[in-house]
């Protein structure tokens, strides 16, 4: 299968699959050694709906020798937002079952019960997104054989991560009426070659699944980040990281194009080769300030799929000795209505995504606008939002996540007002086209141009 077809299939998947994408990485720092299961993060998640049913998930794994299991871990998302004002808590529990000819058999043991209480309304939004670990009341002795590692989740919005795999394993889903696992589980749906991000820890014969393997016939899913900043020299720079399962792809060619919002023609920026850690940067010289879309495309390699990403970039005018003010948003949501109000010292935009999935945004803000990123006040729908901060020499990158629906995001820089330049009292606004229209247009251009740059395609 060629790179263009890989890219087209990926675009369709991004538009239609109700999954949550993320980097795969081995989890570290566990109290006990992972013995059995899939101790990696995963590409997707599935969980409870609005009626808060108790959902049951599991996968079967082969234990190569005797082991004593003391705990289990499963990668969960647990969260509350302002729309969830009911008093319902979130509970979860893990269990080990015997295998019965490829299906879930008899219960062996279950862990203690985990509970996350709903925070007070003034503490929302709230989220936990990581492996959660629960202990067994007493050690569980297992002999070599096949076992099912299972998770039960109950709450307003809790999801269990899973992944597609080219290894022989099964994924199961059902519902339970109680937080106590039954001796046998009925009415279960089984799916081949899909695995829950779940594992058992303790001592004994290590039998965890190996990391996902990729080859020319089954390339791994590449991911790419992209941001834009203004350098001290006054030049614009597009930068980011190209990776495969969380590891940078070195010596890969990435191509870049841009267009003004509302324009039908994509213009060439150029191309560059990634560094040993998968990072890249390329200079860009837009003809004027205003609203742009900037696209990065990687055509794939022997073991990595093609990938592209287009982000909105807002370039506001300079003032005095300040460089031009630049904002960009790298997100898995539909991003719209980027605006900077220089009088109020506020940057805002909206995000929209499919309910039941998680969204994220990496917002790049010039240090010439705000000297101390810790003083930036961030809100989602008017409620305080937490974010993490990383930086480059010229910019702050603020990362935050949220439940997908429609949200208004705002950053207030008044906390560091001394460094806010005096710009004309107007809001520079950018509105993106719908995600489907954007991705479809780029996909069509990709198919027409083959391995050439996306350029001058009306």
CATH number for the domain formed by residue range(s) 25-208: 2.60.120
Q: Look at the pTM and tell me if it is higher than 0.85.
A: no
* CA–CA gap between residue 5 and residue 208 (Å, rounded): 33
- In contact, 324 and 265? CB cutoff 8 Å: no
Q: How many CA atoms lie within 13 A of 203 on its CB side?
A: 1
Q: Give tens-digit pLDDT for 152-190.
A: 998 877 889 888 887 789 999 998 888 899 999 888 999
Per-residue burial over 138-170, b = 16 or more CB atoms within 10 Å of its CB, e = otherwise: eebebeeeebbbbbbbbbbbbbbbbbebeeebb
pLDDT at res. 12: 33
- Which tokens sit at 363? 């917002």
Average pLDDT over residues 81-94: 73
Q: Give tens-digit pLDDT for 304-330.
A: 888 889 999 998 876 444 557 889 999
- Which tokens sit at 32? 């006990």
CA neighbor of 109 nearest in space, from 150, 56, 50, 66: 150
Q: What is the mean pLDDT of the chain?
A: 78
- In contact, 256 and 269? CB cutoff 8 Å: yes
Residues of the chain with CATH 2.60.120: 25-208
Q: Give tens-digit pLDDT for 20-67.
A: 222 222 232 334 689 999 988 776 778 765 555 788 999 999 999 999
Bridge partners, 369 (sequence order) = none
Is the bond preceding residue 125 a cis peptide, omega within 30 degrees?
A: yes
pLDDT at res. 171: 93
- Angle subtended by helix axes 3-16 and 435-449, to nearest 10: 170
- In contact, 258 and 282? CB cutoff 8 Å: no
pLDDT at res. 82: 57
Number of Cβ atoms within 10 Å of the Cβ of 37:
25
**SS3 assignment for 62-103:** EECCCEEEEEEEEEEEEEECCCCCCCCCEEEEEEEEEEECCE
* CA–CA gap between residue 451 and residue 407 (Å, rounded): 37
Residue scoring higher pLDDT (337 or 89): 337
- In contact, 279 and 301? CB cutoff 8 Å: no
* CA–CA gap between residue 161 and residue 72 (Å, rounded): 15
pLDDT at res. 214: 67
Query: Per mean pLDDT, which range of 17-26, 200-209, 241-250, 263-272 is the poorest?
Result: 17-26
Kindly compute the dihedral angle of the four CA atoms of residues 75, 80, 83, 84, in this order, to the nearest 10 degrees: 100
Q: Give tens-digit pLDDT for 416-457.
A: 444 444 434 344 444 443 343 344 344 433 333 333 333 333
Residue scoring higher pLDDT (64 or 353): 64
Sign of the four-CA dihedral 358, 364, 369, 370: positive
pLDDT at res. 83: 60
State the pairing for strand pair 194-196/158-164.
antiparallel
């Amino acid at each position: 299968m060629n790179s263009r077809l890989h890219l087209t299939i990926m675009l369709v998947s991004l538009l239609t699959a109700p999954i949550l994408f993320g980097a795969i990485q081995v989890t570290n720092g566990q109290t006990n050694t992972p013995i059995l299961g899939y101790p990696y993060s995963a590409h997707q998640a599935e969980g409870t709906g609005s009626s808060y049913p108790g959902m049951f998930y599991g996968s079967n794994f082969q234990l190569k020798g005797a082991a004593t299991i003391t705990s289990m871990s499963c990668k969960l998302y647990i969260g509350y937002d302002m729309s969830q004002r009911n008093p319902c808590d979130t509970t979860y529990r893990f269990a080990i079952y015997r295998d019965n000819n490829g299906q879930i058999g008899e219960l062996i043991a279950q862990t203690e019960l985990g509970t996350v209480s709903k925070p007070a309304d003034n503490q929302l939004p709230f989220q936990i997104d990581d492996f959660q670990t629960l202990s067994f009341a007493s050690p569980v002795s297992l002999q070599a054989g096949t076992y099912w590692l299972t998770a039960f989740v109950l709450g307003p919005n809790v999801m269990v991560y899973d992944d597609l795999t080219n290894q022989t394993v099964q994924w199961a889903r059902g519902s339970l009426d109680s937080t106590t696992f039954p001796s046998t589980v009925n009415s279960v749906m089984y799916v081949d070659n899909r695995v829950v991000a779940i594992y058992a820890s303790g001592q004994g014969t290590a039998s965890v699944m190996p990391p996902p393997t990729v080859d020319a016939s089954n390339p791994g899913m590449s991911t790419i980040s992209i941001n834009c900043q203004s350098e001290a020299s006054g030049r614009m720079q597009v930068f980011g990281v190209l990776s495969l399962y969380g590891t940078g792809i070195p010596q890969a060619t990435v191509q870049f194009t841009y267009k003004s919002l509302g324009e039908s023609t994509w213009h060439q920026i150029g191309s560059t080769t990634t560094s040993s850690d998968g990072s890249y940067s390329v200079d860009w010289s837009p003809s004027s300030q205003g609203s742009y879309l900037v696209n990065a495309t990687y055509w794939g390699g022997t073991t990595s799929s093609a990938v592209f990403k287009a982000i909105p970039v807002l370039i506001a005018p300079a003032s005095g000795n300040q460089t031009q003010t630049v904002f960009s948003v790298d997100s898995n949501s539909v991003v719209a209505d980027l605006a900077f109000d220089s009088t109020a010292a506020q940057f805002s935009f909206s995000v929209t995504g499919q309910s039941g999935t998680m969204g994220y945004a990496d917002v790049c803000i010039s240090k010439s606008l705000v000297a101390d990123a810790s003083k930036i006040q961030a809100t989602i729908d008017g409620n305080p939002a937490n974010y993490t901060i990383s930086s480059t020499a010229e910019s702050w990158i603020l990362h935050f996540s949220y439940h997908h629906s429609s949200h208004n995001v705002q950053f207030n820089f008044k906390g560091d007002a001394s460094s806010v330049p005096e710009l004309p009292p107007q809001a520079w606004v950018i509105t993106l086209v719908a995600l489907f229209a954007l991705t479809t247009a780029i996909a069509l251009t990709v198919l027409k141009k083959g391995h050439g740059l996306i350029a001058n395609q009306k």
